Structure 1
């Protein structure tokens, strides 16, 4: 028996019992495949627009009773939902590892499933009180936040479970019902998680639907949908905006990023190398707010490149079910081709390939090793385009003002980071055009710290009190 076959056998009955209730009948649906081995793992149902209409009708009918339960009871049920996730965490993580490709260990599949429970509990416990805005001789007015009604949640394939929870946990907490449209690339994992949540939630307040191309646009345009939350590419985000124009649905859009990091002369290359590595290559680089352009001062350039190469050499890549691996394959062929094209373009342009640089075909069809690209300049495709994979262009600078200008040059602004003396880094951070700027780190998120982008990286905020407000409608009571 091959090693891959042994790993698949280890899934045993738990994982397959989880997907039994959500996958399509034999001979129907679309086949979901293991990202590492390309072997079938299940059948994703293919819903139609008619199925979506029926789901909207059910979710709309269920919403008033859900809202009427009140914040306390909804919060209790969200904690119960988190308990259910934790009770099924290992088979769910293994299913996620196979379908998405991310390894079980490191900041990957087990980490993602654990984050689902954490964000559910955080949404349950976050307090959003009515705000007194006027209380004087002129009168009294309070600002309240009410349920919107029905939320459409359209998710991505890179962090399919965690980002779905980011969308549904605050929405449910505020009394909305939710219809989830997962990416077709990782739909089986998401539908399985929803089935676990629905073991404790009232019927029809949370419904998953996936299928034909028109489902997402119909969901965004539907007059019954009062809010659309979308995480994905900027071009698709623009289509969501267009689709939602007819019903004026509220929007939260977390779109593409091409995050810049700036290493100051005061930084210690050895001390920051591992933070830089995971800032860039968490989830094998398939993260919207990953570090994707690194500007390094000339005085530290060679030392930073060497330190990153040393860290890269210690990070094993392979099948995600192998406990030793912390890097996996690209999730799909389209993304693999983008990474390969950008690396070849950089090589042809004279860039220096420090590590990687060619497909790791000995590991499988979609494996591409961590590729550090040095001696590359702004304007190169690998700098200006979002790679969304295991490659990082490293750009040399000597003038800080020029580095800041180049970091702000592109029409995206999800995240950014500054590395070095904290006071110096804080002074630079305020000059960067990004929704979040991290100091001596990149990409770390907290369920109580608001998160969102600027420019073409989207708008709206998630997490914490602000996240609850963005899945609510404000109401002023005055008098």
Structure 2
């Protein structure tokens, strides 16, 4: 059977490259297709195409651009099954549960919401003599660099607000999940003017060329903190504004007044949605000694009841780790925890057979200083640290260099809010974790990046303020 060769989209045209690379199914190891390795000249051509059409796109009315977004939402809806199957095959998350169908549904919602929002002129100051207005104008060309964990949803977060506000986009998908992203861009181009949305695929080198390209005015990146630092360096060449959503290593604190059975589902999916391969997953769980054993028992029951396997098979709700690099990192951290004599309640060893399968793993009797606690594992392994003193738990939760999300679990709303106010994170959830919403700003602090996405604040992040100051006496 011949292998499909996928294409990039530049100025509305399908673009191939002389060199290609293989994309794999992480559940089976099979080759899904060949992906173009974009050249530096192709990256420059994509930026030039976006630059050339940006003034005309920005000149459209808000209502016209909203209309285009609604057309794109319809394209996503019409192709939901096709795109979801591609995501399952290439990323690994199952079709069922909070998997690939859920991801495409999220793409539709995160397209419709920016189309519903307004950015009216704001009055900064006005008196009898003057009026100062804040107008929101496009930045220009947005370079979007998408990750492999939620390849279409996060791409949507980057693309749709940018297009809504009059920018044009060049997107580089992760080299691990290129096919589904390239296909989404191809489909969206069936309703867009040529050049408004373009793609370039390839290794990290391609991302570097795109980030530093002259003509790029804004960079949106979701990924690791180490790559985020390289993005900042690259932006010095073109003075592009930057939004970074980087690593999390989120902490959750469980207070002694909870009902373990009632919070177990929230803790489980807060930790293991997408096999823990989500920036805002619980990566460190601090549980008060009074409920520690009961919480662990409830989580263990859920872990045993969740079917894992090839996500195309009916009933499967947990899939493989997406790529071998991440798989090996998880194994390394687990082996280190074993050397520290941590207790493995379940899991702890890679599954035999094809694919990057690692079982849900709960680890107790682990020191807070262990690598598995201090380093973001980004996988299906959860270290559970017992505490007796709440102040110490908060101190442990805050004692990392990242701060994306965090959560507090308690039946006492007042105490939960007090703890939430002391936790260092861009978002602190109470009795839930990772429950993002398209109307609610989301972003990190410390080395988890800067800038926000979603809602009106997310739209403002892909615009620049233009002040019009009026002398009333002469107006």
Q: Does TM, normalized by the shorter one, top 0.5?
A: yes
User: For residue 417 of structure 1, what is the aligned residue in structure 2?
Assistant: 407
1:194 aligns with 2:185: yes
User: For residue 12 of structure 1, what is the aligned residue in structure 2?
Assistant: none
Aligned residues of 1:106 and 1:326 also touching (Cα < 8 A) = yes
The equivalent position to 2:294 in structure 1, one of 303, 314, 321, is 303
Give the distance between the partners of 2:196 and 2:4, measured in 1 at CA.
23
1:257 aligns with 2:248: yes
User: For residue 473 of structure 2, what is the aligned residue in structure 1?
Assistant: none
**5+ unaligned residues in a row in structure 1: which ranges?**
1-8, 10-15
Give the distance between the partners of 1:18 and 1:414, measured in 2 at CA.
37
1:276 aligns with 2:276: no
Give the distance between the partners of 2:450 and 2:129, measured in 1 at CA.
35
* Equivalent residues in 2 for 1:66-465, closer than 5 Å: 66-362=57-353, 364-421=354-411, 422-465=413-456
User: For residue 6 of structure 1, what is the aligned residue in structure 2?
Assistant: none
Q: C-alpha displacement at 1:41, in angstroms?
A: 1.1
Aligned residues of 1:28 and 1:43 also touching (Cα < 8 A) = no
Q: C-alpha displacement at 1:133, in angstroms?
A: 1.3
Give the distance between the partners of 2:87 and 2:445, measured in 1 at CA.
30
Q: C-alpha displacement at 1:348, in angstroms?
A: 1.3
What whole-Å deviation, never above 9, does each CA across 1:100-151 have from its counterpart, x for those lacking one? 0110011110000111111000011111111111121242111111001100
Give the distance between the partners of 2:450 and 2:320, measured in 1 at CA.
30
Aligned residues of 2:344 and 2:363 also touching (Cα < 8 A) = yes
Seen in structure 2, the aligned counterparts of structure 1 residues 17 and 127 have a Cα distance that, compared at 3 Å, is farther
Give the distance between the partners of 1:416 and 1:307, measured in 2 at CA.
21
Give the distance between the partners of 1:168 and 1:20, measured in 2 at CA.
19
Give the distance between the partners of 1:294 and 1:213, measured in 2 at CA.
33
User: For residue 470 of structure 1, what is the aligned residue in structure 2?
Assistant: 461
- Aligned to 2:33, what secondary structure does the other structure show? strand
Aligned residues of 1:25 and 1:43 also touching (Cα < 8 A) = no
Aligned residues of 2:121 and 2:136 also touching (Cα < 8 A) = yes
TM-score, normalised by the number of residues in structure 1: 0.94
Seen in structure 2, the aligned counterparts of structure 1 residues 44 and 403 have a Cα distance that, compared at 3 Å, is same
- Aligned to 1:185, what secondary structure does the other structure show? coil
Q: C-alpha displacement at 1:28, in angstroms?
A: 5.3
- Aligned to 2:134, what secondary structure does the other structure show? strand
What whole-Å deviation, never above 9, does each CA across 1:271-309 have from its counterpart, x for those lacking one? 001110000000011001100000000101101110110
Give the distance between the partners of 2:329 and 2:351, measured in 1 at CA.
15
Seen in structure 2, the aligned counterparts of structure 1 residues 292 and 318 have a Cα distance that, compared at 3 Å, is same
Q: Answer with 382-391 or 209-218: which moved more.
A: 209-218
Give the distance between the partners of 1:475 and 1:417, measured in 2 at CA.
38
What whole-Å deviation, never above 9, does each CA across 1:213-251 have from its counterpart, x for those lacking one? 432112111221110000000000000001101222111
TM-score, normalised by the number of residues in structure 2: 0.95
The equivalent position to 1:48 in structure 2, one of 25, 39, 44, is 39
**5+ unaligned residues in a row in structure 2: which ranges?**
471-475
Give the distance between the partners of 2:325 and 2:37, measured in 1 at CA.
21
Aligned residues of 1:49 and 1:214 also touching (Cα < 8 A) = no
- Aligned to 1:313, what secondary structure does the other structure show? helix
Aligned residues of 2:49 and 2:195 also touching (Cα < 8 A) = yes
Give the distance between the partners of 2:258 and 2:313, measured in 1 at CA.
35
What RMSD, in angstroms, separates the aligned Cα atoms of the two structures?
Answer: 1.7
Q: C-alpha displacement at 1:208, in angstroms?
A: 0.6
What whole-Å deviation, never above 9, does each CA across 1:363-394 have from its counterpart, x for those lacking one? x3310000000111111000000000000000
Give the distance between the partners of 2:134 and 2:216, measured in 1 at CA.
23
Give the distance between the partners of 1:25 and 1:458, measured in 2 at CA.
34
Aligned residues of 2:7 and 2:36 also touching (Cα < 8 A) = no
Aligned residues of 1:24 and 1:44 also touching (Cα < 8 A) = no
Give the distance between the partners of 1:24 and 1:226, measured in 2 at CA.
24
